[in-house]
Structure 1
Amino acid sequence: MSAPLYQAQAEFFRALGHPVRIRVPELLQNGPLPVRNLLISTEVEASNLSQQLAILRRSGIVSATREGSTVMYALVSADVAGLLRTTRRILTDVIAVRGELPAKPREVKAERLR
């Protein structure tokens, strides 16, 4: 028997539960990018980006294809970009009401997301 949809949704959101794993899909919303561009735009170490991209790939949020020696990343569904835009609008409303960003959640260890 497969897991209920809400459990799958929780896993999906857990996969987005890191700033780099949110930033990458935002960068990919206008089309595929080579990993070197993602590295420059995210300003994280290559090993960290590689780990975050692996989580996004396993969760089905992004896909990777090789073009010669270049690895290109793309969103599997444009709906992910729409979800992130909606989240930004919600948070903008929260900020307007509260006057600040929500409290920083506790850090989640990457091992828990594997």
Structure 2
Amino acid sequence: MDYELQKFKADFFKALSNPIRIKILEVLSNGEMGVSEIQRVIGNESSTVSQQLKVLRNKNIVVGTKSGNRVIYSLRDPLIIDLLLVARQIFNSHLIGTIQILDRSKD
């Protein structure tokens, strides 16, 4: 595999390595929103939300569109929703495996 592609993937996943950014993406998977709306849903300060949106914007994961005096954010590519769902499935598989190991160790 080409090194540049591997680097792109690594940088992309680094952008996803923050729980607040993941939550923002999950919120935006329901549709576009402004900073104050995102902030209200996830419960973080608007400055924190703005900082994390900047990281996601710089990695072209979300896009901001000016609407009057506010910016409306959306997912650049709806496939990010699938990626987050696959990540959840992987997490669930690991969790189920761990629970099974713990159950077997009780015997």
TM-score (norm 2): 0.85
Q: Which has the larger radius of gyration?
A: 2
Structure 1 CA distance, aligned partners of 2:96 and 2:67? 44
Which segments of structure 1 move beyond 2 Å, counting only runs of 4 or more?
Answer: none
- The aligned counterpart of 2:48 is 48
2:99 matches 1:93:
no
Given that residues 35 and 46 in structure 2 are in contact (C-alpha distance below 8 angstroms), is that contact kept between their aligned partners in structure 1?
no
After TM superposition, give the deviation of residue 3 of structure 1 in Å: 5.3
Distance (Å, rounded) in 1 between the aligned partners of 2:10 and 2:37: 29
Name the structure where helix makes up a greater proportion of residues.
2
User: Would you say the 8 A contact 2:64–2:72 is kept in 1?
Assistant: yes
Counting only pairs closer than 5 Å after superposition, residues 66-77 of structure 1 correspond to structure 2 as 66-77=66-77
Q: CA RMSD in A?
A: 1.4
1:1-55, Cα deviation, whole Å (9 max, x unpaired)? x952011000000001100111111111122112111001121112111110100
Structure 1 length-normalised TM: 0.80
Deviations along 1:78-97, whole A, 9 cap, x unmatched?
Answer: 01111001101110111111
Tell me the equivalent position of 1:57. 57
1:62 deviates by: 0.2
Q: Provide the aligned length of Structure 1 versus Structure 2.
A: 98
Distance 1:8 1:43 in 2: 31
- Residue of structure 2 in register with 1:30 after alignment: 30
Q: Separation in 1 of the partners of 2:36 and 2:91?
A: 30
Unaligned runs of 5+ in 1: 100-114
Q: Structure 2: which 5+ runs fail to align?
A: 100-107
